[in-house]
Structure 1
Amino acid sequence: MTPTNGTPSIILIAGHWLGGWAWDEVRALLPAERFRVAAPTLAGLDGDDPDRSRATLDDQLAGILDAIGHAGGSREHPVTLVAHSGANAPVTLALDRHPELVRRIIWVDSGPVAPGTAFAPDAPEDLAELPLPPFDALGAQASLAGLDANMLARFRARAVPEPGPVLRQSVDLSNDARLAVPTTLVCCSISSAQVRELADAGHPMFAEVARLAHLETVDLPTGHWPMWSRPGDLAAIIASAVS
């Protein structure tokens, strides 16, 4: 996929347990005549891959860089990355390694991670993978607001266990140029006012937000999976940010 006539390229990266299929509704609402859109499935999240539980953040980073390459991403034609939830670790790595290839980063109920961060640093070495938890446990950690029974059933049926190495690996960052990439935070389960307040207070989950040079925030009140609960509104926000 290469850019033609200046058509912007958008790469959608889903969070834990999810493949590119999670963006189907949003992709359908991003007009092909205006945008070239890809939604790759990260390493370890293809249910047909027999080695998926061995995938690392480095493997996921390689997949994101491949997707940028396939989209024709370059200094002259940088892409827009859209990252949801737990995709923040590999996408932050991509920003650190090649900020010049990214025109804008859009975080969907997510945000950049700080150097040395690991999602589950205390996860035992013999944990091969983490399946999608029961919804009562998941809902205690991330809001399920806006998801009906059919959406939850599809989530359960298509979710792929998250690889253990991805959960344990810490993020090695060294290039502060990543902080200069124009950034949009789409705030869903927590408001933009709360995000800014936590960032200003130095909360570790939002430490990098306070360091961003070019930040805009957009409120989209819903649960943690807005690509299903409010796909039309999310597509419109992405289109506006890209345009």
Structure 2
Amino acid sequence: MDIILIPGLWLDASSWGPVTTALRDAGHHAQAVTLPGVGEPAAVSGDLGMADWVDAITALIDAADAPVVLVGHSGGGNVAWGAADARPDRVARVIFVDTIPPAPGSGISEFEVVDGVIPFPGWDFFPEEDVHDLDAQLREKTAPLTLSVPARVPTDPIRLTDPRRHAVPVTMLMGALDQPTLESMIDEWGPYGEEYRALRDVKVVRIGSAHWPQFSVPETLNRLLLEAIDRPNSGV
């Protein structure tokens, strides 16, 4: 299976290192990507928006010989869903890693712009629920892997126009939420809840981690990804 691994904000292809290796060892063709403008100064990245990130993944889908699996971590989930919307007949499954399908017109979040780009704000910026399993040693090891992102991208609205995306099978690997818990909350999330309810084939699986399982529990994430990739579609 062709698998495209899309990192979240501030991360590049190297953030998927152990995951990419595990998927390839299992016989899959796994390709981790670095999205356009990541780590580049404003002179290079200033004009880039979410559509450019989606286009980069769409080009990889078009180059594949068969339908692909898209894996999107955090803000990379927006990119994955935008690409699934652009090529719903070429995506076999979307796997969200600690994020949910975005609603049409939504952004990722807002962060401080410095010198025309958005630098990594540091691990202490995030709430404890997002970083509780990143100890001091792991934070020190991973912080140098972070890069700036284009200033427009985190707030740029995602363009979703093809309702066929709702037929693409979805697996959501959530750090702390299982399916009953998520579904007890989802209707309070406005248009995000509407997008979730429109999915025809969705499975939510609890990882038992904080927000960066590829760093904190890579073996668990690898196992759950392989299970999701091999999961048969529901047929609904």
The TM-score, its normalising length taken from structure 1, stands at 0.85
User: Matches of residues 208-227 of structure 1 in structure 2 within 5 Å?
Assistant: 208-227=195-214
- Cα pair distance change 1:190/1:50, threshold 3 Å: farther
Alignment-mate amino acid for residue 38 of structure 1: Q
Aligned: 1:148 with 2:135: yes
Alignment partner, residue 78 of structure 1: 67
The percentage of aligned residue pairs carrying the same residue is: 27
What displacement does 1:119 show? 2.6
- Cα pair distance change 1:210/1:54, threshold 3 Å: same
Gaps of 5+ in 1: 1-7
Alignment partner, residue 97 of structure 2: 108
The TM-score, its normalising length taken from structure 2, stands at 0.87
Distance 2:35 2:48 in 1: 9
- Cα pair distance change 1:214/1:17, threshold 3 Å: same
Distance 1:125 1:132 in 2: 10
Alignment partner, residue 155 of structure 2: 168
User: Matches of residues 92-107 of structure 1 in structure 2 within 5 Å?
Assistant: 92-107=81-96
Distance 1:189 1:108 in 2: 11
Contact persistence 1:42–1:60 (CA under 8 A): yes
Contact persistence 1:180–1:213 (CA under 8 A): yes
Once the two structures are overlaid, the 10-residue window that deviates more, 233-242 or 13-22, is: 233-242
Alignment partner, residue 233 of structure 2: none
- Cα pair distance change 1:92/1:127, threshold 3 Å: farther
User: Matches of residues 27-66 of structure 1 in structure 2 within 5 Å?
Assistant: 27-32=20-25, 34-47=27-40, 51-66=44-59
Distance 1:101 1:158 in 2: 31
Contact persistence 1:180–1:214 (CA under 8 A): yes
Alignment partner, residue 107 of structure 2: 118
Contact persistence 2:169–2:200 (CA under 8 A): yes
Contact persistence 1:40–1:67 (CA under 8 A): no
1:143 aligned counterpart, secondary structure: helix
Contact persistence 2:72–2:79 (CA under 8 A): no
Contact persistence 2:168–2:201 (CA under 8 A): yes
Aligned: 1:128 with 2:116: yes
Contact persistence 2:40–2:149 (CA under 8 A): no
Contact persistence 1:187–1:220 (CA under 8 A): yes
- Cα pair distance change 1:26/1:33, threshold 3 Å: closer
- Cα pair distance change 1:65/1:46, threshold 3 Å: farther
Distance 2:33 2:24 in 1: 18
Contact persistence 2:107–2:154 (CA under 8 A): yes
Distance 1:212 1:234 in 2: 23
Gaps of 5+ in 2: 231-236
Alignment partner, residue 13 of structure 2: 20
What displacement does 1:205 show? 4.0
The partner residue of 2:79 within 86, 90, 107 is 90
Alignment partner, residue 4 of structure 2: 11
What displacement does 1:226 show? 0.5
